[in-house]
Amino acid sequence: MGKNAELLPGTLDMLILKAVSLKPLHGYGVLLRIRQISGEALDIPQGSLYPALYRLEQQGLIVAEWGQSENNRKAKFYTVSAEGRRRLREETASWNRLVSAIAAAMSTTPDEV
């Protein structure tokens, strides 16, 4: 697990929204996609994936629909809603602000103080 980054609290919802915004996915697909787009660095604890999905669906940020999986199995696919897309944009923006602020803070040298 050495190369894996620790998942920051509160970021799971954002990652799920990002994953399903690229392409409709079933739950297991979300897991694989996040691993893939994070360069295999992020591994979601499987037990917390589904409660998160249900929460997002309850909030109307993602929409679930039953469809066919790649191997022709019945599976529940999630897509992002318009509301979810807006939320994703906001969260991405605020995440970026946070990252640059922390990066700036952490790269400060003694003579800059």
Closest C-alpha among 83, 72, 85 to residue 22:
85
> Kind of pairing, strands 74-80 and 62-68?
antiparallel
HSE-CB at 33 with a 13 A cutoff on CA atoms is 19
Tell the smallest beta-carbon distance from residue 40 to other proteins (Å): 14
Binds other proteins by CB under 8 A, chosen from 5, 41, 50, 92 = 50
Look up residue 56 and give its amino acid.
Answer: L
Binds other proteins by CB under 8 A, chosen from 74, 109, 110, 111 = 74
Binding mask 19-48 toward other proteins (x if CB under 8 A, else -) reads -------xxx--x-------------xxxx
Alpha-carbon gap, residue 74 to 45, rounded angstroms: 24
State the residues that interact with other proteins by CB under 8 A.
Answer: 26-28, 31, 45-48, 50-52, 54-55, 57-58, 66, 69, 73-76
